[in-house]
Amino acid sequence: MKNKNIVVLDKRDEWSKFSEFMAGIYAKYADEVGLDDLPDPEVLFYRNKVMKMYKAYMRHVNREKCRRAHNDIEYGFCW
Protein backbone atom coordinates (compact mmCIF):
# COMPACT_ATOMS: atom_id res chain seq x y z
CA MET A 1 0.00 0.00 0.00
CA LYS A 2 1.53 3.30 -1.11
CA ASN A 3 1.29 6.49 0.85
CA LYS A 4 0.18 9.21 -1.58
CA ASN A 5 1.00 12.09 0.78
CA ILE A 6 4.78 11.84 0.33
CA VAL A 7 6.36 14.34 -2.05
CA VAL A 8 9.96 13.94 -3.16
CA LEU A 9 11.66 16.85 -4.89
CA ASP A 10 14.48 15.76 -7.15
CA LYS A 11 15.31 19.19 -8.45
CA ARG A 12 16.70 21.99 -6.31
CA ASP A 13 15.42 25.48 -6.95
CA GLU A 14 16.16 28.99 -5.70
CA TRP A 15 14.10 28.46 -2.55
CA SER A 16 16.20 25.53 -1.35
CA LYS A 17 19.19 27.76 -0.58
CA PHE A 18 16.93 30.15 1.32
CA SER A 19 15.38 27.30 3.32
CA GLU A 20 18.84 25.98 4.21
CA PHE A 21 19.86 29.48 5.32
CA MET A 22 16.75 29.85 7.50
CA ALA A 23 17.26 26.41 9.02
CA GLY A 24 20.86 27.33 9.88
CA ILE A 25 19.81 30.62 11.47
CA TYR A 26 17.09 28.87 13.44
CA ALA A 27 19.46 26.17 14.67
CA LYS A 28 22.12 28.73 15.60
CA TYR A 29 19.92 31.17 17.53
CA ALA A 30 17.12 28.96 18.89
CA ASP A 31 18.62 28.83 22.39
CA GLU A 32 19.32 32.57 22.56
CA VAL A 33 15.87 33.65 21.43
CA GLY A 34 14.12 31.71 24.18
CA LEU A 35 11.26 30.24 22.19
CA ASP A 36 10.04 28.43 25.28
CA ASP A 37 9.46 31.79 26.98
CA LEU A 38 7.02 33.01 24.32
CA PRO A 39 3.34 33.17 25.35
CA ASP A 40 0.97 30.40 24.37
CA PRO A 41 -0.77 31.40 21.11
CA GLU A 42 -4.03 29.73 22.15
CA VAL A 43 -4.29 32.06 25.14
CA LEU A 44 -3.66 35.06 22.88
CA PHE A 45 -6.33 33.94 20.38
CA TYR A 46 -8.80 33.28 23.22
CA ARG A 47 -8.10 36.71 24.74
CA ASN A 48 -8.65 38.43 21.38
CA LYS A 49 -11.91 36.52 20.85
CA VAL A 50 -13.17 37.51 24.30
CA MET A 51 -12.25 41.15 23.62
CA LYS A 52 -14.18 41.14 20.32
CA MET A 53 -17.22 39.59 21.99
CA TYR A 54 -17.07 42.16 24.82
CA LYS A 55 -16.90 45.06 22.34
CA ALA A 56 -19.87 43.66 20.40
CA TYR A 57 -21.83 43.28 23.64
CA MET A 58 -21.03 46.84 24.75
CA ARG A 59 -22.11 48.21 21.33
CA HIS A 60 -25.42 46.39 21.78
CA VAL A 61 -25.86 47.70 25.34
CA ASN A 62 -25.09 51.27 24.30
CA ARG A 63 -27.54 51.07 21.39
CA GLU A 64 -30.25 49.85 23.75
CA LYS A 65 -29.50 52.65 26.23
CA CYS A 66 -29.76 55.26 23.49
CA ARG A 67 -32.99 53.73 22.21
CA ARG A 68 -34.55 53.72 25.70
CA ALA A 69 -33.42 57.27 26.36
CA HIS A 70 -34.98 58.41 23.10
CA ASN A 71 -38.27 56.59 23.86
CA ASP A 72 -38.48 57.99 27.42
CA ILE A 73 -38.61 61.61 26.30
CA GLU A 74 -42.11 63.00 26.77
CA TYR A 75 -43.19 65.86 24.65
CA GLY A 76 -45.49 68.43 26.21
CA PHE A 77 -47.76 70.38 23.96
CA CYS A 78 -49.28 73.69 24.91
CA TRP A 79 -52.88 74.23 23.76
The pTM score is 0.44
Question: In this predicted model, which residue has the larger pLDDT, 10 or 61?
Answer: 61
Give me the pLDDT at residue 29, please: 86
Would you kindly state where each structural domain of the chain is located, as residue ranges?
A: 38-73
pLDDT of 34: 79
pLDDT digits (tens, 9 = 90+) for 15-62: 888 888 988 888 888 778 777 777 888 998 999 999 999 999 999 998
Mean pLDDT calculated for residue range 4-22: 74
> Would you list the DSSP string of 1-67?
---TT-----S--HHHHHHHHHHHHHHHHHHHHTGGGSPPHHHHHHHHHHHHHHHHHHHHHHHHHHH
Residue 15: per-residue pLDDT: 80
